[in-house]
Amino acid sequence: MAATNSFISYGSVAKTFHWLTALLILTALPLGWIADNLAYAVLHANTAPTEAEIARAARVFSLHKTVGITVFFVALARILWALTQTKPGLLNADNKPEAFAAETVHWLLYGSLVLVPLSGWVHHAATEGFAPILWPFGQNLPFVPKSEAVAEVTGVLHWLFMWVLVGSLVLHVAGALKHHVVDKDSTLRRMLPGQANSPEPPQQHHSLVPAVAAVTVWAMVLSGGWITGEFAKEADDADIELAEVQSDWQVQTGTLSITISQLGSPVTGSFADWTAAITFDDPAQAGPAGSVDVTIAIGSLSLGSVTDQAMGADFFDSAQFPTAQFTADLFKTETGFEARGPLTIRDSTMDIILPFSLDLQGDTASMAGSVELNRLDFNVGTSQPTEESLGFAVSATVELTARRNQ
């Protein structure tokens, strides 16, 4: 059997690409379905998920993503090979409607084999917190930022493109069976291993009309997704909005973030809503310098793909404990500054020391500091008593610029 195509038959390379792609797709689709169900069970369980349950969902997602990336590269190689080859003629080219449908489905399949894994890959790269792709080449993509908005849009695109792929596969298989069982021609046999005795296809002309039809289908699917609200982010009714506080120093800009370790990889998120009541006077010598009272809206945390899990009863339990509190005295030390006082998260309070640097320019002050906490000290994630899925250490970082009220 020849390696290359002819007008009559497919070569061994094209056949290998075809059946390898089929195997990968029929592996990736059920893995994705199983992974979604496992993740749903973890996020919506009545009891706290165990480390084993979380690890199992992560492993299946990792396998799904790894197979998906393989599909992407195999599809690219298959398309590049097809561009160098003679396209075998359709045996039913004289049946214009059927030939048009067949070519449209082929365009949908080729496009979906690129769009589905690519949208999933971009979603993965844009997300903080993930089940990793099982390869040594890193988890990020050039020009793809860590962005909740990008992750949300590409996640919807991945889901919509997946249904186009499934529909195309069903039509492709139905057409092949129709040729084999009803028409009894060689359409299916010439894609099977070995040499098929195929008749000479009728003379035919290929146009771009089926490609335009395929693009129209994708446009209709995307429009349908937009109309039905698939791209609209649902608001979280559980979030609270903190009231403004009176402060000698008014915060102008600032970020309050945490970094956790999930499956051995760092995941960083930030709180969108927090307040700080600050009193401060820079003493000439080491000693007391003021106070700070920080209130944090737990529900305003964005932590990538694990945000919902972080809000759950076994973690921050934002429904029962909507805020965290840090009330501290400020001290000037020989080397910098420290905030010393109790930090309350959930139902636990611990005294901590937050060292920070301070740049004071007249009535404007910029500070930056960080402290490492142990999640178990605050009863966060007690169902995961080891670091197999979630590390113990949580790094909390604050950066802000404040201006003295006159």
State mean pLDDT over 211-225: 95
Task: Tell me the C-alpha distance between 384 and 73, whole Å.
Answer: 37
pLDDT digits (tens, 9 = 90+) for 18-50: 999 999 999 999 999 999 999 888 877 777 778
Q: What percent of the chain has a predicted confidence (pLDDT) above 70?
A: 98
237 three-class SS: coil
Q: DSSP secondary structure string, 328-389? A: EEEEE-SSSEEEEEEEEETTEEEEEEEEEEEEEETTEEEEEEEEEEEGGGGT-STT--SSSS
Task: Tell me the C-alpha distance between 358 and 360, whole Å.
Answer: 6
Of residues 233 and 2, more confidence is placed in 2
- Evaluate if pTM is beyond 0.95: no
pLDDT at 237: 46
CATH no., domain 249-404: 2.40.128.110
pLDDT at 239: 60
Residue 234 has pLDDT above 70, yes or no: no
Alpha-helix runs per DSSP H in 44-85: 51-83
pLDDT digits (tens, 9 = 90+) for 52-75: 888 899 999 999 999 999 999 999
Task: Tell me the C-alpha distance between 135 and 201, whole Å.
Answer: 44
CA 379 from chain centre, in angstroms, equals: 27
Strands 348-361 and 393-404: unpaired
Task: Tell me the C-alpha distance between 268 and 264, whole Å.
Answer: 13
Task: Tell me the C-alpha distance between 117 and 75, whole Å.
Answer: 10
For the chain, the 3-state helix, strand and coil shares in percent, each to the nearest 5, are: 40, 25, 35
Residue 261 has pLDDT above 50, yes or no: yes
Q: Where are the domains of the chain?
A: 12-227, 249-404
Instruction: Tell me how far CA of residue 119 lies from CA of 64, 169, 254, in angstroms.
Output: 14, 19, 33
Q: Which of 53-62, 198-207, 296-305 has the lowest mean pLDDT?
A: 198-207
Place of tokens 């009545």: 46
Going by C-alpha positions, the residue among 38, 111, 107, 52 that lies closest to residue 76 is 111
pLDDT at 273: 95
Place of tokens 């089926």: 210
Please provide the average confidence, as pLDDT, over all residues in the chain. Answer: 92
pLDDT digits (tens, 9 = 90+) for 69-102: 999 999 999 999 999 999 999 988 889 999 999 9
